[in-house]
Amino acid sequence: MTILITAGPTVEAIDPVRYLTNRSSGKMGYALAEAAATMGHRVILVSGPTQLDVPDGVDFIPVESADDMYEAVANWIKKADIAIMAAAVADYKMAQVAEQKIKKSADQDTLTLQLVKTRDILGSARQQMNFTGTLIGFAAETEKLITNARNKLQRKNCDLIVANDVSRADIGFHADDNEIVLVSEQGEEPLAKASKEHLAHVILEKAIQLATK
């Protein structure tokens, strides 16, 4: 099968020297890419900037901003049987990126940046990108994990949501381990804390089961 995976953070420019980003290391997405390639699938990895080595044997599409990631996914998702969106995409970007470095004001103690919503890549996969394959999203939550994940499952027309609690330091963002709940129409499957590599294999087995049912 061909599996498209998004990973890592996005980077949204403020001015030529500053940006908005988040704590995603890319570990979860890269573990999925590595596991899928090891299982013999063709992997398209669309990734924001990370410190990680690109797994052997994957087609690597590096991107920076949420807009770049949207365009890359829109372009490549046509080839995919399964799409798994593990990236932490910025929900907001600058309304207008400043052309020159924003100078510190001598007489104002506060600075207000005007942000606008980015496009939802996962939420656009079905209608705007006409994706008919198996669609898997993540839900990074600090409260109401299952309720919020279930909302995302429906709102974004997914077959599966991988829910993780990102309020804990030992799992989620940047950690080597994760603890997840697989949320689908069939119900909820909680998985105990384990390495991202191990959980990547479990997520992929579930994805392939959904894709071949």
Q: How far is the CB of 84 from ligand PMT (least distance, A)?
A: 8
- CB nearer to ligand PMT: give 28 or 208: 28
Any catalytic annotation for residue 148?
no
- CB nearer to ligand PMT: give 101 or 174: 174
Q: How far is the CB of 39 from ligand PMT (least distance, A)?
A: 20
Q: How far is the CB of 137 from ligand PMT (least distance, A)?
A: 4
Q: How far is the CB of 23 from ligand PMT (least distance, A)?
A: 7
- CB nearer to ligand PMT: give 40 or 201: 201
Q: What is the CA radius of gyration of the chain?
A: 18
- CB nearer to ligand PMT: give 24 or 134: 24
Residues at the interface with ligand PMT (CB under 6 A)? 6, 24-28, 66, 85-89, 91, 118, 120-122, 137-140, 152, 164, 166, 172-174
| 119 Cβ neighbours under 8 A, 6+ residues apart | 66, 67, 70
Cα-Cα-Cα-Cα dihedral of 85, 212, 39, 165, to 10°?
30
Catalytic site residues? Answer: 22
